[in-house]
Structure 1
Amino acid sequence: MSDKIYDFVVVGGGAAGCVLANRLSADPAHRVLLLEAGKSDPFWDVFTHMPAAMGLAIASRSHNWHYVSEPEPFMQNRRMDLPRGKLLGGSGSINAMTYVRGHPANFDQWAKVVGDEAWDYAHVLPYFKKIEDSVTFGGNEFRGRGGLQTVERAPADHPLFALFFEAAQQAGYNLTADLNGAVQEGFAAFDRNIRRGRRQSSSQAYLHPVMGRPNLEVRTHALATQIVFSGTRAVGVTYRAAGGREEIVRAEEIILSGGAFNTPQLLQLSGVGRAEELEAVGVAPVHDLRGVGHNLEDHLAVQVQHRCTQPISMVHMKDKKNWPKMGLQWLAGRGPAVSNLFEAAGFIRSNEDMEFPDVIVGFAPMAMAFDEKRIVEGHGYQVHVGTMAARSRGSVTLRSADPAAHPRIIFNYLDNQRDRDDWVKAIRIARDIMAQPAFSGVDGGEVVPGPEFQTDEEILDWISHTAQTGLHPTGSARMGRTADDVVDPATMRVHGIEGVRVVDASVFPTVTNTQTYAPTLMVAEKASDMILGNTPLEPVRLARPQVVSQARPAAAPEDVVAPAGSA
């Protein structure tokens, strides 16, 4: 062990870790070390930085840890793929780059759950604004300008997007001006964390600009294996470096930012968790903390795909013969490869009793191979459908005491009737939109799931066979003040031990009704002020527009029939 003692060792170079590395090292008196188990994200890595190449990054063994769930009991006992980023920027370096904060009611709910008003919407809004450099909207009462994270509105100028927006209105839904503005309900173009045609992950936005600071060290290929304790006081971290050698670093404070899988795994490897679970794999308990690895949440997702009768979709992007030209155009900051394809979406309510929109319908002007057995061949388009308020809860637990062994992960998707009912409603909502007259000139019929799936039971059977993770795992080191919570919401310290904090999506009290990248940055910005002892940003209390609920009665099967010619 070196004699050098760091003020802060940040474990995990993902969305939150990169923010922390920047903010904690801003004072040259602070010695900061960032440990990332994956690789770097060099500027020439096309898989990472080209928006349209995100599918290649997810498929890559060098970009994705390729976690796999335990057999999911309500999903045909499938072991489901769980992509996680294996490089600086974490999953923000391989995700779809859609940037949505979440509905204000999500954060008011957070404040109630954790018993601390500092997490309500009024208190988190100034941190969201601090993050942003909003190219499209500039600075206003809801949006930030001059922050480190570039946020731009997708053009959504392909003709199929116009049909999507028209169809949504024909189905009875509203358009909204800004999904991160006054009304996060209705249909609009997505905001994206893309800058000049390139992905701007938190690594690119927060970390790379400050890598030259002499008080900041970044070590990649450094797998943290254990927190070193003296009693219940953390004094250091062991990690496995490239080549397999074991290293130990000493620290005044250790901040875990490994995400919803790795953070609870490292706590458990270090003896913090449910004592009986630790002893079962040969780990000596240091502190019996019941919530570690439990309360895991996620979103599920499926794609409803239609054949397109006109040759106007973006299917040409699949043809490898077109890739050299697309690559050259991308280098010049233009062409189809600058798009993340999912440029527009709607957030709507499936039930009148929901406080916030709980269904997402995201549109893409081509059909992509999420299910190799059933896909549109040739021209097509699709909607990404997800329910955003699932009630299922899962866990992350050790498979063994080997730090390199992936933990056991189970979400228990669809384990309750309310979730199953909501999914049937969501699919009927999506089908209703896709069946509107706006699409009549291009609609060749539904191919996925297909007209044979009509009853509630048939729809649920299809979902259980085909749905995938929405890539939004949260809650496995939940903040709060009950016996089932892990982190103090006022300090981000782990209950019952000293010298360890958690700052990442694992602390979410509940998963937001959106993608989780933007709220993870917010948590990290807010936590940075807590850690440094800065005065928190003043809350911003804005009058909220009265929004008439856009919940729509789910159509009966006979009212939503795939158009003639579907197959």
Structure 2
Amino acid sequence: MNEAQYDVIVIGAGSAGCAVAARLSEGGKYRVALLEAGPKDTSPWIHLPLGYGKTMWDERVNWKLFTEPDANMGNRRIYWPRGKVLGGSSAINGLIAIRGQAADYDEWANYGGEQWNYRSVLPYFKRLEHFNSDANPAFHGKSGPISVDAIRHKHPLIEAFIQSANAVGIPRNDDFNGPSQEGAGYYHLTTRKGLRSSAAVGYLRPARKRKNLDILTDARVTRIRFDGRRATGVDYLSGGQARSLTARRGVVLSAGAVHTPQLLMLSGVGPAGHLQDHGIPVLNDLSGVGANLQDHLQFRLIFRCNRPISTNDQLNSLFGKMKIGLQWLMTRTGPLAVGINQGGMFASVMPGANRPDVQFHVATLSADMAGGKVHTYSGFTMSVCQLRPESTGTIRLASADPAAQPLINANYLEAELDRRVAIGGIKLARRIARTGPLRGIVDAEILPGDAAQDDASILEFARQNGATIFHPTSTCRMGPADDAGAVVDPNLKVRGLEGLWIADCSVMPRIVSGNTNLPAIMIGEKLADHLRK
């Protein structure tokens, strides 16, 4: 069997993997292969911002994962969409451009040293960004691969939300990635001229013609190959055929917080007892592989409006659909150009909190679940999630078969603090809905509704209705040499092995206070910079 040889093989063309592969292929010094289990990003629904209502359920571009039954969540299995396409989850996400709080990264420095503090990572956030509006140059970049837009056309529902938040003491904030995250305002989006700016669009399109970069789609890696303790290549399936590639310098694993630990364990790297249970020879006993899973759990409050002011009204009418379609075709604006969640807020609900502990996503439409069919009435949604949950879960193998999806035990709401923040966040959302301009718009609270009034019933609503907001992290976290739970060192090299690095959200020692797409890309940029040096 002929094996192509490369300097570096990157597994996974998601947010971080695209950045690593594109940056390493610059200048022609290294020959790079990028392998993606899914197809090319040719679906028009990927590139239309509102199209993730379709890709949320499309098995061609979505892994469509489910958690194991969660005892803390009514024993429900919770749906976890994850991108399986060029661009990974950046091709199917909600487009929200958030970096997290400066304090997040200063805390990371306790695990990875000063190279991970906010001052050190900010230049990478600026490098990846092409901000299309006027912005503070101390915080924003103008020449990066990922296009970021402000929402220029204001929506009356979002304006009412911001003013109602102001009325309860939360300030307006026009830049959540600026000097302070706290406040209410419009999100910045990873879009350009009404189209999605995914990692594949930003990083791979300019790089496709490079002779030293090969992009292989529909190529599902089944195992990382080793010579002794050095990673030397990968085995993968393509078109039903088993194939292999060789890496002269090493392998970068960027398969995401679910599939990165799965691939490590399939390759003999992980908790020894668990690997032995599945008959997998143990190459490197690392207890932290698949441990420390963190995610943002969201609670969706739905309100009915007393006038036709929401996107529901447009989507439920043939004339309305034609109008927003023409608006996008003629001006690249309107609902199709900005996705679902336009408004946001970062605030504190716990006594004594010195920085925001909850995040709101405000959608100008309502549905039974994210990406579902909109309601027939005029409605909107306020989703609230805890920014820094204490509950942690695990990723484990279902079997030694690479085609078997791993076992996701999210373990939501296990920690008492998480339950208290859930109750506080829902109460804050209700308070805002009953204050200021929103009070004059809301006709009824559909969810949670009148039945959930005391803390116990609010918590029960959270257990029965909470769902992921799609931010799994920390399953192969970084740490210093004396940290027994760490999987990678501060330079993202897998401990005890040579020629193997990880670049995705799995390396986060703690989940960031916000959406994870931009932090994932930053991690990819940072690893590529390290490897080039």
Deviation at 1:3, TM superposition (A): 5.0
Q: Is the 8 A contact 1:156 1:343 kept in 2?
A: no
Question: Which residue is equivalent to 2:62?
Answer: 64
Can you list the C-alpha shifts for 1:202-221, whole angstroms capped at 9, x where unaligned?
00001111101000000000
Deviation at 1:334, TM superposition (A): 3.0
In the aligned structure 1, how far is the partner of 2:91 from the partner of 2:457? 36
Question: Which residue is equivalent to 1:539?
Answer: none
Question: Which residue is equivalent to 1:398?
Answer: 397
Gaps of 5+ in 2: none
In the aligned structure 2, how far is the partner of 1:226 from the partner of 1:55? 33
In the aligned structure 1, how far is the partner of 2:323 from the partner of 2:417? 48
In the aligned structure 2, how far is the partner of 1:415 from the partner of 1:156? 41
Q: 2:47 aligns with which of 46, 49, 67?
A: 49
Can you list the C-alpha shifts for 1:374-416, whole angstroms capped at 9, x where unaligned?
9854111221111111101111111111101000111110112
In the aligned structure 1, how far is the partner of 2:329 from the partner of 2:358? 36
Deviation at 1:100, TM superposition (A): 0.6
Give matches, 1:189-268, under 5 Å: 189-242=186-239, 244-252=240-248, 253-268=250-265
Question: Greater shift after overlay, 375-384 or 505-514?
Answer: 375-384
Residue 495 in 1 paired to residue 492 in 2? Answer: no
Question: Which residue is equivalent to 1:186?
Answer: 183
Question: Which residue is equivalent to 2:94?
Answer: 96
Can you list the C-alpha shifts for 1:529-565, whole angstroms capped at 9, x where unaligned?
11111xxxxxxxxxxxxxxxxxxxxxxxxxxxxxxxx
Q: 1:162 aligns with which of 153, 159, 164?
A: 159
The code of the aligned residue for 1:512 comes to V
Question: Which residue is equivalent to 1:175?
Answer: 172
Q: Is the 8 A contact 1:390 1:419 kept in 2?
A: yes
Deviation at 1:311, TM superposition (A): 1.4
Give the TM-score taking structure 1 as reference length: 0.90
Can you list the C-alpha shifts for 1:427-468, whole angstroms capped at 9, x where unaligned?
111111111031232220211110110111101111111111
The code of the aligned residue for 1:528 comes to A
Q: 1:271 aligns with which of 268, 271, 291?
A: 268
Question: Which residue is equivalent to 2:336?
Answer: 337
SS of the residue 1:225 aligns to: strand
Q: 1:195 to 1:361 in 2, by over 3 A?
A: same
Residue 135 in 1 paired to residue 159 in 2? Answer: no
Q: Is the 8 A contact 1:50 1:330 kept in 2?
A: no
Deviation at 1:329, TM superposition (A): 3.8
In the aligned structure 2, how far is the partner of 1:355 from the partner of 1:33? 45
The code of the aligned residue for 1:441 comes to G
SS of the residue 1:295 aligns to: coil
SS of the residue 2:133 aligns to: coil
Q: Is the 8 A contact 1:132 1:148 kept in 2?
A: yes
Q: Is the 8 A contact 2:361 2:384 kept in 1?
A: yes
SS of the residue 1:260 aligns to: helix
Q: Is the 8 A contact 2:236 2:244 kept in 1?
A: yes
The code of the aligned residue for 2:260 comes to T
In the aligned structure 2, how far is the partner of 1:3 from the partner of 1:442? 64
In the aligned structure 1, how far is the partner of 2:165 from the partner of 2:334? 27
Question: Greater shift after overlay, 317-326 or 127-136?
Answer: 317-326
Residue 285 in 1 paired to residue 276 in 2? Answer: no
SS of the residue 2:27 aligns to: coil
The code of the aligned residue for 2:245 comes to V
Give the TM-score taking structure 2 as reference length: 0.96
In the aligned structure 2, how far is the partner of 1:310 from the partner of 1:389? 36
In the aligned structure 2, how far is the partner of 1:257 from the partner of 1:317? 39
Q: 2:142 aligns with which of 128, 142, 145?
A: 145
Q: 1:156 to 1:430 in 2, by over 3 A?
A: farther
Q: 1:106 aligns with which of 104, 107, 126?
A: 104
Deviation at 1:4, TM superposition (A): 3.6
Q: 1:220 to 1:323 in 2, by over 3 A?
A: farther
Question: Which residue is equivalent to 2:518?
Answer: 518
Residue identity (%): 38
Question: Which residue is equivalent to 1:449?
Answer: 448
Can you list the C-alpha shifts for 1:204-249, whole angstroms capped at 9, x where unaligned?
001111101000000000000001111111111000112x110010
Question: Which residue is equivalent to 1:389?
Answer: 388
Deviation at 1:324, TM superposition (A): 5.3
In the aligned structure 2, how far is the partner of 1:324 from the partner of 1:267? 49
Question: Which residue is equivalent to 1:463?
Answer: 462
Q: 1:317 to 1:90 in 2, by over 3 A?
A: farther
The code of the aligned residue for 1:190 comes to Y
In the aligned structure 2, how far is the partner of 1:465 from the partner of 1:387? 17
Q: Is the 8 A contact 1:374 1:448 kept in 2?
A: no
In the aligned structure 2, how far is the partner of 1:20 from the partner of 1:2? 26
Q: 1:372 to 1:473 in 2, by over 3 A?
A: closer
The code of the aligned residue for 1:280 comes to D
The code of the aligned residue for 1:75 comes to M
Q: Is the 8 A contact 1:139 1:145 kept in 2?
A: no
Q: Is the 8 A contact 2:299 2:426 kept in 1?
A: no
SS of the residue 2:341 aligns to: coil
Q: Is the 8 A contact 1:375 1:448 kept in 2?
A: no
Question: Which residue is equivalent to 2:6?
Answer: 6
Q: Is the 8 A contact 1:391 1:419 kept in 2?
A: yes
Residue 17 in 1 paired to residue 17 in 2? Answer: yes
In the aligned structure 2, how far is the partner of 1:331 from the partner of 1:300? 35
Gaps of 5+ in 1: 534-567
Q: Is the 8 A contact 1:305 1:383 kept in 2?
A: yes
In the aligned structure 2, how far is the partner of 1:371 from the partner of 1:339? 15
The code of the aligned residue for 1:429 comes to L
Number of residue pairs the alignment of both structures matches: 528
Can you list the C-alpha shifts for 1:336-371, whole angstroms capped at 9, x where unaligned?
311213111110112244343111122122212318
In the aligned structure 2, how far is the partner of 1:148 from the partner of 1:15? 12
Question: Which residue is equivalent to 2:478?
Answer: 479
SS of the residue 1:485 aligns to: coil
In the aligned structure 2, how far is the partner of 1:19 from the partner of 1:143? 18
Question: Which residue is equivalent to 1:532?
Answer: 532
SS of the residue 1:64 aligns to: coil
